[in-house]
Homo-oligomer: A and B are copies of this chain.
Amino acid sequence: KAPKAEGEEGKKEEKGGKKNRAALKTPKGTRDYDAFQMSVRERVFDTIKACFKRHGAITIETPVFELKETLTGKYGEDSKLIYDLQDQGGELCSLRYDLTVPFARYVAMNRIKKIKRYQIGRVYRRDNPVMTKGRFREFYQCDFDIAGEYDLMIPDSEAIKLMTEILDSLDIGKYQIKINHRKLLDGFFAICGVPEEKFRAISSAVDKLDKSPWAEVRKEMVEVKGLEPAVADRIETYVQLKGSPMELLEKIRQEKLLESSALAMSALNEMDTLFSYLQCYECLDKILFDFSLARGLDYYTGLIYEAVLLGEEGVGVGSISAGGRYDGLVGIFGGAVPAVGFSVGVERIFSILEQRLEKEKDKIQVAETEVMVISPDKDVLKERMTLCNTLWKAGIKTEMLPKEKAQFKAQLDYALLNNIPLAVIFGKTELEQGTYQLKDFKNKDQVTVLKEQLVEEIEKRLPRFTTLA
């Protein structure tokens, strides 16, 4: 389970007395995955990949670390969380903080004009880990992005539609996608009287509203970021605006809340277009138009969105996916290519599914072994080996106990414990007769089969995947 790495710290102390023993833990904020956790993880990845592929995305991979300068200046206040590699001579490098900046570097480097790609990989943040909530320093992100010159809000609406498809197929409960627009934020900041050079700083303060009360955020604006109190108070009225897309759009237009900012009005029109597309995609009901959504990252330039899991009373219990438009990022590396995308933070999803599957844990066959080779006789090791070899050659997943003289019961127990469906059993008698006993643990029957028919008889009893032309 998630808190394993932390739990291990306790173990380490408990063993502190023993000498010459390396610390028995993973680094802070990291974890191991055992076989059961890996099977949950694979299930999640397979589901997400299927959604990505349904939208025609290809995949790429980039290194786990990038040149330090590639990451510099892309993440705003979060830059302090970047892991640097030690300078051991040569280039200065940092572990990737997300998959978006490396993707932008990749697009620019390969002079790509259009690409729809997904990428699944680990990213690194020197944040304060909360293992129980699935917040780690090393964690997986599953990213989808569309880069290229396309028409207004068409790729954006596909990204959001895909986000809903993923969250729906993972079946992790109710969620809501908060949506806002950077130009809308900048527009109402201007209306409120925020000086332009403070837009990003104030935006990153607004971003904290999902975790902190207004009073605290206001304090940061005024005391840390030097905003006039009256301006902060005007911002308050705007960040409270939220509601179902069409209704809020209507209200803002009727009450002329943004008329004085051409920037905000153009963003509002973009939102209108987006909402109509999301209606075609039958996912507008998942959207909350929310003026308080700001997103911390520097690189967003347009639409921003964040999916939040809803708890018992419909209150947000945490972000599980987020994204937006970043039209300037590729250009920093050369060749302006607009882009939009999102990232699914799968660690929290792993935690949820792990807990749900915990009960079935014993029944899940983690190894996929199909046949256990067993003999009650103690001097037939080479015959067991030869039989394994025959079955491996036939593509059958086979195991035997790696003991010279294995106990009959130990062999049977191994098969039962590991939910192996079939066993091939033989002793001296069978060897003389050229036969085997084929035991089916599920149907609880056992038949004698001829040596030559063994593979065929096993295959009859195994579920197989076949391609239908």
Whether A35 is near chain B, meaning CB under 8 Å from some CB there, is: yes
Instruction: Select which of B23, B53, B62, B110 is within 8 A of A397 by beta carbon.
Output: B53
**Candidates B108, B116, B280; contact of A382 at CB < 8 Å:** B280
Other than the known A25-B67, A32-B62, A150-B403, what 20 A-B pairs have Cβ atoms closer than 8 Å? A22-B69, A22-B332, A25-B109, A26-B63, A27-B66, A32-B60, A33-B60, A35-B58, A38-B59, A38-B61, A55-B397, A55-B398, A56-B367, A84-B88, A150-B402, A154-B403, A277-B382, A463-B467, A465-B467, A466-B466
Q: Give the distance to chain B from A3, nearest Cβ to Cβ, in Å.
A: 14
Copies of this chain, how many?
A: 2
The chain B residue with its CB closest to the CB of A11 is B109
B64 lies within 8 A of A138 (CB): yes
Q: Closest CB of chain B to A467's CB: distance in Å? A: 6
The answer to whether A64 and B122 have CB atoms under 8 Å apart is yes
A126 at interface by CB-CB < 8 Å = yes
Q: Which residue of B lies closest to A158 (CB)?
A: B402
Known A54-B397, A389-B281, A396-B54: A466·B463 in contact at CB below 8 Å: no
CA of A93 to CA of B26, assembled, Å: 10
Which residues of chain B have C-beta atoms less than 8 A from A56's C-beta? Answer: 367-369, 397-399, 418
CB–CB A398/B54 < 8 A: yes
Q: Complex formed: what's the CA distance from A26 to B392 in Å?
A: 41
Instruction: Tell me if A194 counts as interface (CB < 8 A to partner B).
Output: no
Find chain B residues with CB under 8 A from A61 CB.
32-33, 38, 41
The contact sample of 25 A-B pairs, CB cut-off 8 A, is A20-B332, A23-B70, A24-B105, A24-B108, A25-B67, A25-B109, A27-B65, A28-B90, A28-B91, A30-B65, A32-B63, A34-B110, A38-B59, A55-B397, A56-B397, A63-B138, A85-B85, A86-B87, A280-B382, A281-B385, A463-B467, A464-B468, A465-B466, A466-B466, A466-B468
Q: Are A60 and B35 in contact (CB under 8 A)?
A: yes
